[in-house]
Amino acid sequence: MKRLVSSLMLCGLLAAASAHAALNVGAPAPDFSTDASLGGKVFTFKLNDALKQGPVVLYFFPAAFTQGCTIEAHNFAEATDEYKSLGATVIGVSTDNIDTLNKFSVSECRGKFAVAADADGKIMKSYDAVHDKRPEYAQRISYVISPQGKILYEFTDMNPESHVTNTMRALRDWKTKQEKAK
């Protein structure tokens, strides 16, 4: 019960955050390498390696197992096959430790996509994703990164409901432009 109350309080506090600056569309995406978990298996996620396979949807979330982050993880999990059909890799990042994310990857992410640990906050700082009021947490922000390592799209909203819809639309638009350019 205490954990539920704490999670709801954190969720409410984080939802009350003010708008936050983000990396601009067209900016280079900072490269990173970190421990991640997919389906309870830990591996090293390297952004540059993932970009060799296609675009990357990089989303930052405040804390595993909080209400909003669980909703967002479920939404990304449900959309994973569609992201894959567009050639995209999804990776979630938070300041949670890898042991917590290992559990989160199995339960809330349903083993569909990886979540990465940013325990020292360096990744969220490089992506200007530090929460305004609680700097130990990430802002809820999603980026779509082109295979060339540029920011294609950015969406910041503490409400977890629109991140999948918006990043999916950005990916479809990008794919359409790529097909027309051929």
8 Å CB contact between 38 and 111: yes
Residue 5 — very low, low, confident or very high, per pLDDT cuts 50/70/90? very low
pLDDT tens for 161-177 read 999 999 999 999 999 99
- Whether the pTM exceeds 0.85: the reply is yes
Which segments of 24-97 does DSSP mark as H helices, in order? 47-51, 67-85
The mean predicted confidence, pLDDT, of the chain is 89
